Amino acid sequence: MPVILDCHDPASWGPSLDAAVDAVSRGAVIVLPTDTVYGVGADAFSPEAVAAVLAAKGRDRQMPPPVLIPDVRTVDGLAREVPDAARVLMDACWPGALTVIVKAQPSLAWDLGETHGTVALRVPDHPAALALLARTGPLAVTSANRTGEPAATTAAGAEEQLGDAVAAYLDAGDSPLGVASTIVDATGPSLRIVRQGGVSRERIVELVGDALAGDDG
């Protein structure tokens, strides 16, 4: 049976984070709060754990999960050839509801699925998520729902959809934003918005101007 771990209050969430860190360290799948929606995730460097995340969601390797990181300093260990405009967005919008697709470091010993040499990175703006990531390092995290169903904005909503496929659920109450992150692809000659979300197109244009191409959203 999955465990529900309270992490509403930083003053008392220590045991809950300890349990979540332990679950991640043994390759288990967890649900964690973020600023956008709840996420289902695991150790990004454990292929078996990442496969379990995809299985829990009902998703195949053709849709690899993004990777949540504790801060922008982690980027250069995971990515290469990051455009200046992408760094502007990261500096201005992280922590926050922006996911940036970049070219992955080829030497990394991970398997997120069919990424075609890329990785989608985000620093979430949620204190519990950041406290967890500071201890676990990068986590492969996708929205906590079965594919085709609405993203969960509470731990209970995530448990209803994912059930026993998850070892531990961190419960921090309602998601602050309740909408998914904006995704920007920074692997081409221009930045491209591939999903509209928590950061507006207007804000991105304000930050990078002509570096942004047309968008699909």
C-alpha distances in angstroms, 190 versus 65, 69, 105, 197?
23, 24, 20, 19
**Token pair 């045991």 in the structure block, residue:** 15
What is the spatial distance between Cα 213 and Cα 192, in angstroms, rounded to a whole number? Answer: 5
- What's the length of the chain? 217
Q: Please report the pLDDT score of residue 54 as a whole number.
A: 95
**pLDDT (tens digit, 9 = 90+) per residue, 79-130?**
999 999 999 999 999 999 999 999 999 988 899 999 999 999 999 999 999 9
Are the CB atoms for 122 and 139 separated by under 8 Å?
A: no
Residue 26: Cβ-neighbour burial (10 angstroms; 0-12, 13-18, 19+): exposed
Return mean pLDDT, the chain: 95
Q: Please report the pLDDT score of residue 214 as a whole number.
A: 66
- Superfamily for 3-211? DHBP synthase (3.90.870.10)
What is the spatial distance between Cα 158 and Cα 146, in angstroms, rounded to a whole number? Answer: 9
Torsion of CA 32, 187, 184, 39, to 10 degrees: -10
Q: What pTM, to 2 d.p., does this model score?
A: 0.95
**pLDDT (tens digit, 9 = 90+) per residue, 35-90?**
999 999 999 999 999 999 999 999 889 889 999 999 999 999 999 999 999 999 99
**pLDDT (tens digit, 9 = 90+) per residue, 137-168?**
999 999 999 999 999 999 999 999 999 999 99
Domain spans of the chain, in order of start: 3-211
| Residue 1 clears pLDDT 90, i.e. is over it | no
Return the beta strands (E) in the chain as ranges: 3-6, 30-32, 39-43, 67-68, 79-80, 98-104, 118-122, 139-143, 168-171, 182-185, 192-195
